[in-house]
């Protein structure tokens, strides 16, 4: 298996169950000798985590929200993601820029052109002499009907500002993800997140096996044990 760095992101609406698979994939990759960096957005650095607290708890308009998300992302890229990729790590990130287009764009109505400008500004010039915009090598999209996701979230003790949004908001967010996936089919892998956890893991594993990033389905399962 190649030891070049890989950048894999996990995306989906709240309640899709994506976060429960991040550590599982990390374990499977580590079992095969890969160095893995696990992180999340917004967050991943001390500064970005402070911005996350503001984003989840404070009332603000959609553009302010977008600017804070991208500010946190810039710090996260410079301090965590780029150094890890330079070392040859596999970086697993719970949410990235697709969430901004889905939540702030489709969900809250921020113009996609504005978000695209922020994306280019924040995700380029991260490494001296390299102008290419940093994007994930693979995005695992946990696709689920908003109604089912809402049922899963119903037991949450104290929902944050995003989890507390109405069902119609999550319908818009889900459509935003569908639009992003349609625009970048080579990067997105859609997983049917309505299935039980084991079946979702089988879908996820098969994507990694087909790309040569996991040795086999059996090896993937061993990494979880």
Residues 6+ apart with CB under 8 A from 33: 1
Residues 6+ apart with CB under 8 A from 204: 21, 25, 140, 191
**Residues in binding site:** 12-19
Measured CA to CA, the distance from residue 85 to residue 99 in angstroms comes to 21
Note whether 159 and 150 are within 8 A (CB).
no
Give the number of C-alpha atoms closer than 13 A to the C-alpha of residue 222, restricted to the C-beta side: 11
**Residues in binding site for ATP:** 12-19
Measured CA to CA, the distance from residue 17 to residue 85 in angstroms comes to 26
Residues 6+ apart with CB under 8 A from 163: 14, 15, 153, 156
């Amino acid at each position: 298996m190649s030891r070049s760095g890989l950048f894999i992101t996990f995306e989906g609406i709240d309640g899709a169950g994506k976060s429960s698979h991040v550590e599982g994939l990390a374990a499977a990759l580590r079992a095969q000798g890969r160095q893995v960096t696990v992180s999340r957005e917004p967050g991943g650095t001390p500064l970005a985590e402070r911005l996350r607290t503001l984003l989840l708890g404070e009332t603000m308009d959609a553009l302010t929200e977008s600017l804070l998300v991208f500010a946190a992302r810039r710090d996260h890229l410079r301090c965590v993601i780029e150094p890890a990729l330079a070392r040859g790590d596999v970086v697993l990130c719970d949410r990235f820029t697709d969430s901004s287009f889905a939540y702030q764009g489709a969900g809250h109505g921020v113009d996609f052109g504005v978000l695209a400008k922020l994306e280019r500004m924040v995700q380029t010039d991260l490494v001296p002499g390299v102008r290419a915009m940093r994007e994930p090598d693979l995005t695992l999209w946990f696709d689920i009907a908003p109604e089912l996701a809402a049922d899963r979230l119903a037991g949450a003790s104290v929902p944050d500002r995003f989890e507390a949004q109405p069902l119609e908001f999550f319908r818009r967010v889900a459509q935003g993800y569908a639009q992003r996936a349609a625009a970048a089919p080579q990067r997105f892998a859609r997983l049917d997140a309505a299935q039980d956890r084991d079946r979702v893991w089988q879908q996820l594993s098969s994507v990694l096996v087909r790309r040569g990033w996991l040795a086999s389905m059996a090896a993937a399962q061993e990494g979880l044990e």
